[in-house]
Amino acid sequence: MNTKWNLKSDYTLSSDAVRSLAEALKISPVTALLLCQRGYTDAEAAKRFMSPVVGEFHSPFLIPDMEKAVKRLEDAIQSGEKTVIYGDYDVDGVTSVSVLWLYLKNRGLSVDYYIPDRSGEGYGMNNAAIDKFHENGVKLMVTVDTGVTAIDEVAYAASLGIDTLVTDHHECQQSLPDAVAVVNPRRSDSDYPFKELAGVGVVFKLLSACETRRAANEEEARANIEKLCDSYIDLVAMGTVADVMPLVDENRLLVSRGLALMNSRPRMGLSALLGAASGGEKKPGAVTATTVSFVVAPRINAAGRIDSAERAVGLFLSSSPAETEAIAYELCDINRARQAEENRIIEEAEAKIAAECDFDRDSIIVLADDHWHHGVIGIVASRITEKYGLPSILISFDGDIGKGSGRSVKGINLVEALTDSKEYLVKFGGHELAAGLSVERSRIDAFRENINRYVKEHLTDADCLAAIDVDCEINATDVTLSLAEELSLLEPYGIANPSPLFMMRGVTLRGVMPLGEKHARFLLEKDGVSLSALRFGKSRRDFELYGGDLVDLVFQMNVNEFRGVRSAQMIVKDIRLGEGQYTVNPEDRRRYEALMNGAPFDKDEDILPTRDDIAPVYLWFKRHFGNTKDEITGVRELLSQFRSYARIHYVKLRVILKILDECGIVAIEYFGETGENIRYTVNYVKNKVDTEKAPTYSKLKQQMKK
């Protein structure tokens, strides 16, 4: 898929606001530009952004029902009521359960927790679980990261004498549950200034409210909240990052302080999980938001996806080092099983897309199957949406009811889209870009048709086009260790505060080297400065770029430390040929494919090569084979070499390559984005070869019009 680069233009390095901020804060113009683009043009506001302090917490009592929630929870603590925490099975839910359980235990309340089984029970609350609570004498149920849409379930609990205190952060529907309190900053009647808290963030606000009311004065209240931070803010940060919440405003403060705690005094469960993930390495390195997103979160999420999320809760609640370590290794094993299942479902989903989807008709991809693991389909939906640039919903049926997970794109609020189709659904809920649902098998076709209509009416072509927002265009001389170190002032990075992206144009590519089997290294030069850049997740084989090309690239910059030496490191996010570089005409590609499929051609097209045409191509291979570490070239590079040979055009070159391969003179393997990368081996041929006897030559000779 082609990616559009959007270079932000509100500020430039020469803007007055940028220069003023750089001078006031004694920082580089690049960092000042990044701050301005994030809305921090005032020096004091920029300082607060770079150094969050505890005083920036908003009052928890601005969230509706907070006073009611505090009173009901305190009543339970004082009377020792039997209480259960009802959570969700993702990282946000696991950390929410853990924080609230640890707090209530510390307050002297004996409390249980419950997380539904994803496959057997599905998302949200259910009456069967409530029946169990009733049998066990539960009087208070506190929901975390769930419950705001559970109107019927809360009413059912009330009928059994169980009070419900809802804490949640998901989108609210028109009606709220009739609970003793519904604590959610997204409520329409909420005055809370920041709506983007994670579920665990809402739990933290509830505990902050409890500790504020317990305090004799404002100073004691601040001290109490500081103790909360010292005890739980690492888990709050973990859930916030993992749930992909915007890392601005209060979330930035929570995550900044949480990451600091993870690094200065890591929780036993976190240390065990990082150790298990690194194969037992004692010092896995500094914990960052990236560590949480790509190392910690997948392993905790895996438990809820294909096993039991309660195992992940045990990682944080256990006081036994041996048990904690065992759980950590078990979570890593579960994650490997999740990865295998994910790969299987992706293959099957791709086959279904090829067989069932018509992109002239379908604006949203809706797939269903009886054998997909419900806990994994959300990840697959994310990958499908990323690949095709369209919203997607994957549904796994067990009997007559299918449980689905959807992901969306900018421009389509998935909850609103599902609300438009609610008559076809059993239930649904979630966020703007990610949601879950249940649907009857008999209604899947009607649901697919209706949601396609909705998306088609609301989705524009611009929404479907993958885009990269670039912060700043810089020069090679800007790629320095001092700037890479200074950029850490903007961390932690995440949604709404992404890692800065830079653009550099007109860079000479000196080489593309493999970096293991899945990554690549680019050797670059611009304005006399030699640079090295890494591209993760794409191998050398994927790039149809060659030494001597002028390229443009978008990249991140960070600090690399190797054997005690620190240096600036470029991480490529996208790379393409620079303006004016020689490219292959798509019409030429189509003509070649038509000829290979038997299309006739005129003699004037000059398709059949002579020995004089073939010789220079063969000699080029012979001259270069074994002289470089990277035995990869490509059709485009070869064409650029032979443009002085007027007779060798694209189609003829492809024919020559095919003939050389068929005759055993040069063994050729094709790969790459358009299939025009070439890995070659020159074979020693003792006897003279008649190239006109090659199958391709004979076939084309018959296709040529007389």
Which tokens belong to 491?
Answer: 């961390």
Residue-wise pLDDT for 183-197, tens only, equals: 999 999 999 999 999
Encoded amino acid at 372, one letter:
W
Do residues 242 and 302 lie in contact, with contact meaning Cβ atoms separated by under 8 Å?
no
> Hey, which residues does 427 pair with through a beta bridge?
438
Q: Residue 704 in contact with residue 656, Cβ under 8 Å?
A: no
- With cut-offs at 50, 70 and 90, classify the pLDDT of residue 494: confident
Q: Which two tokens stand for residue 675?
A: 């299939």
CA-CA distance, 201 to 100, in Å (whole number)? 11
Checking DSSP bridges between strand 467-470 and strand 434-440, what pairing results, if any?
unpaired
CA–CA distances in Å: residue 428 to residues 149, 242, 363:
9, 21, 20
Distance of CA 530 to the CA centre of its chain: 31
Q: What is the pLDDT of residues 33-87, one digit of tens each?
A: 999 999 999 999 899 888 876 567 999 999 999 999 999 999 999 999 999 999 9
- CB within 8 A of 326, min separation 6: which ones? none
Q: In this prediction, what percent of the chain has a pLDDT beyond 90?
A: 68
* Pairing verdict, β 550-562 and 502-515: antiparallel
For residue 334, pLDDT over 80 is answered with yes
Q: What is the pLDDT of residue 271?
A: 94
Burial code (b: 16+ CB inside 10 Å, e: under 16) for 512-523 equals beeeeeeebbbe
Q: What local confidence, expressed as pLDDT, does residue 563 receive? A: 78
- What does each C-alpha distance from 509 to 271, 503, 577 come to in angstroms? 42, 15, 10
Domains of the chain, earliest start first:
56-232 (3.90.1640.30), 357-458 (3.10.310.30), 468-577 (2.40.50.460), 586-703 (1.10.10)
User: Residue 690 and residue 697: Cα distance in Å, rounded?
Assistant: 11
pLDDT at 270: 95
Query: Other CB atoms closer than 10 Å to residue 423's CB: what's the count?
Result: 9
Query: Which pLDDT value is given to residue 462?
Result: 60
| Mean pLDDT, residues 108-126 | 83
Cis, bond preceding 185 (omega within 30 deg of 0)? no
pLDDT averaged over the chain? 91
The letter for the amino acid at 613 is D
User: Cα–Cα distance between 456 and 363 in angstroms, integer?
Assistant: 6
Other beta carbons within 10 angstroms of residue 277's beta carbon come to: 21
pLDDT above 70: residue 1: no
SS3 447: helix
The count of residues in the chain is: 706
pLDDT score recorded for residue 173: 85
Q: What are residue 224's DSSP bridge partners?
A: none
Residue 620, exposed/middle/buried by CB under 10 A (0-12, 13-18, 19+)?
A: middle
Backbone φ and ψ of 704, nearest 5°: -70, 130
| pLDDT value of residue 439 | 94
What pTM, to 2 d.p., does this model score?
A: 0.80
pLDDT of residue 538: 86
Kindly indicate the confidence band of residue 121, based on its pLDDT and cuts at 50, 70 and 90. low
In this prediction, residue 323 has a pLDDT band, given cuts at 50, 70 and 90, of very high
- What tokens were used for 39? 């809305």
Spatial contact of 200 and 95, defined as CB atoms under 8 Å apart: yes
pLDDT tens per residue, range 231-252: 999 999 999 999 989 998 999 9
What does the pLDDT read at residue 174?
87
Q: Give pLDDT tens digits for 373-422.
A: 888 898 899 989 988 889 999 999 988 999 999 999 888 899 999 999 99
CB burial string 68-95: b at 16+ within 10 A, e below: ebbebbeebbeeebbbbbbbbbbbbbbb
Name the nearest CA neighbour of 634 among 674, 662, 587, 682: 674
How many Cβ atoms from other residues are within 10 Å of residue 326's Cβ?
16
pLDDT in tens, 566-625: 889 999 999 999 988 888 899 999 999 999 999 999 999 999 999 989 999 999 998 888
Range with the lowest mean pLDDT among 107-121, 393-407, 549-563?
107-121
User: To 10 degrees, the CA torsion angle through 382, 386, 391, 397?
Assistant: -40
Side chain identity at residue 92, one-letter code = D
- pLDDT-based confidence at residue 646 (cuts at 50, 70, 90): low
pLDDT at position 645 over 80? no
Average pLDDT over residues 350-363: 89
Q: Please tell me the predicted confidence (pLDDT) of residue 122.
A: 66
